[in-house]
Structure 1
Amino acid sequence: MTRTIWRNIPSTPVLFAALAVMWGTSFVAIEVGLDYFPTLTFAAIRYELAGLVMLAYAVYSTDRWRPKTRDELLATAIGAVFIIAAYHGLLYLGEHYIPGAIAAIIISLSPILTAVFASSILSTDSLGKTGMLGLVAGFVGVVLVADPGAGGFDSAQSYGILLVFLGAVAFSLGAVLTRPLRTDLPVQSMQAWTMFVGGVILHVAGLVRGESFAAIEWAPVGIASFLYLTLVSGAVAFLIYFELLDRVGPTELNLIGYLEPVVAAVMSWVLLGHAIDATALVGFVSIFAGFALLKKQVLLGFVATVRRRVAV
Structure 2
Amino acid sequence: MDHRGTGQARLILLGAIAPIVWGTTYAVTTELLPPGRPMTAAVLRALPAGLLLLAITRQMLPPAWWGRTAVLALLNFGAFFPLLFVAAYRLPGGLAAVVGSAQPLVAAALLLLAFRQRTPLPRLLWSLAAVAGVAVAVLAGTVTVDALGLTAAVAGTCAMAAGVVLVRRWGTPEGMSGLAATGWQLTLGGLMAVPLVPLLDTGPFVLDPPAVAGYLWLALPGGAISYAAWFHAGRRVPPTSLTLLMPLVPVTAAVLGWMLLGETFTGLQAAGFGLALVASVMGQLWGTSPARRPRPDP
Q: What TM-score results when the alignment is normalised by the length of structure 1?
A: 0.70
Q: CA deviation at 1:43?
A: 1.0
Instruction: Trace 1:298-309 onto structure 2 (pairs within 5 A).
Output: 298=287, 300=289
Q: CA deviation at 1:167?
A: 1.0
Matched, 1:245 2:233: yes
Instruction: Determine the C-alpha separation between the residues in 2 that align with 1:196 and 1:29.
Output: 22
* Native 8 Å contact 1:147 1:279 kept in 2: no
Aligned residue among 49, 60, 66 for 1:65: 60
Matched, 1:168 2:163: no
Aligned to 1:86: 79
Task: Tell me the amino acid that sits aligned with residue 252 of structure 2.
Answer: V
Report the aligned-residue RMSD.
Answer: 3.9
Instruction: Trace 1:20-39 onto structure 2 (pairs within 5 A).
Output: 21-36=20-35, 38-39=37-38
* Native 8 Å contact 1:45 1:203 kept in 2: no
CA deviation string 1:260-303 (max 9, x = no partner)? 322111223444455566666666567678778977732647xx
Moved more, 29-38 or 116-125: 29-38
Instruction: Determine the C-alpha separation between the residues in 1 that align with 2:274 and 2:111.
Output: 23
Aligned to 1:232: 221
Aligned to 2:99: 106
Task: Tell me the amino acid that sits aligned with residue 247 of structure 2.
Answer: Y
Higher helix share: 1
Instruction: Trace 1:215-230 onto structure 2 (pairs within 5 A).
Output: 215-230=204-219
How many residue pairs were aligned? 278
Moved more, 195-204 or 26-35: 26-35
Instruction: Determine the C-alpha separation between the residues in 2 that align with 1:157 and 1:282.
Output: 26
Q: Percent identity?
A: 23
Name the SS of the counterpart of 1:30 in structure 2.
helix
Q: CA deviation at 1:194?
A: 0.8
Name the SS of the counterpart of 1:50 in structure 2.
helix
Task: Tell me the amino acid that sits aligned with residue 250 of structure 1.
Answer: V
Moved more, 277-286 or 186-195: 277-286
Given the superposition, is the C-alpha separation of residues 39 and 66 from structure 1 closer, same or farther in structure 2, using an over 3 Å criterion? same
Instruction: Determine the C-alpha separation between the residues in 1 that align with 2:117 and 2:288.
Output: 19
Task: Tell me the amino acid that sits aligned with residue 207 of structure 1.
Answer: P
Task: Tell me the amino acid that sits aligned with residue 53 of structure 1.
Answer: L
Instruction: Determine the C-alpha separation between the residues in 1 that align with 2:216 and 2:51.
Output: 14
Name the SS of the counterpart of 1:27 in structure 2.
helix
* Native 8 Å contact 2:251 2:273 kept in 1: no
Instruction: Determine the C-alpha separation between the residues in 2 that align with 1:292 and 1:230.
Output: 28
* Native 8 Å contact 1:146 1:158 kept in 2: no
Given the superposition, is the C-alpha separation of residues 289 and 121 from structure 1 closer, same or farther in structure 2, using an over 3 Å criterion? farther
Instruction: Trace 1:210-289 onto structure 2 (pairs within 5 A).
Output: 211=201, 215-241=204-230, 245=233, 249-251=236-238, 253-275=242-264
Question: Structure 1: any 5+ residue segments left out of the alignment?
Answer: 1-10, 305-312
Moved more, 140-149 or 191-200: 140-149
Aligned to 2:4: none
Instruction: Determine the C-alpha separation between the residues in 1 that align with 2:43 and 2:100.
Output: 20
Aligned to 2:190: 199
Task: Tell me the amino acid that sits aligned with residue 112 of structure 1.
Answer: L
* Native 8 Å contact 1:141 1:284 kept in 2: yes
